[in-house]
Amino acid sequence: MPVVQARIDAGVCGFVTEVSAECDDGQNVKFVIASPCENIQALVGRLVEVDVYSEIMTGFDGQIHTAARASLKGCCSGCVVPVGIFKAMQVAAGLALPRPASLTLDTSGN
């Protein structure tokens, strides 16, 4: 399977995280993650390879979200990077299509 590249713009903090996800066997996904954010760097240390089926079955108790809870505290609890990592994992394993995802926030009331 091809290597999946994801670029995740975390928003107001200004940090952009680059994720490379690769799955050679249809189950185990290896990550290379680069980010200028110290909190994401701490998360990266906990994620080298994950079992995609275990991640999907355990949901928010899986390795990705467990690492996020341990590394992203306070205002960083709402960070979109862990979800981007999860989506890259799904695409790398052939369990999701590579389509853009987005989150738009607006205070204009429209």
DSSP string, 3-47: PEEEEEE-STT--EEEEEEEESSSSEEEEEEE-S-HHHHHHHTT-
CA 15 to chain centre: 14
Q: Residue 32 has what pLDDT?
A: 96
pTM: predicted TM-score of the whole model, two decimal places: 0.92
Question: Where residue 86 sits, what CATH number does that domain have?
Answer: 3.90.1010
Is 72 within a domain? yes
Q: Residue 75 has what pLDDT?
A: 82
Range of the domain at 22: 4-92
Is 71 within a domain? yes
85 — pLDDT class (breaks 50, 70, 90): very high
Residue 1 has pLDDT above 80, yes or no: no
Q: Residue 29 has what pLDDT?
A: 97
Is 52 within a domain? yes
The count of domains in the chain is: 1
Is 30 within a domain? yes
Is 97 within a domain? no
Q: Percent of the chain beyond pLDDT 70?
A: 99
Residue 84 has pLDDT above 90, yes or no: yes
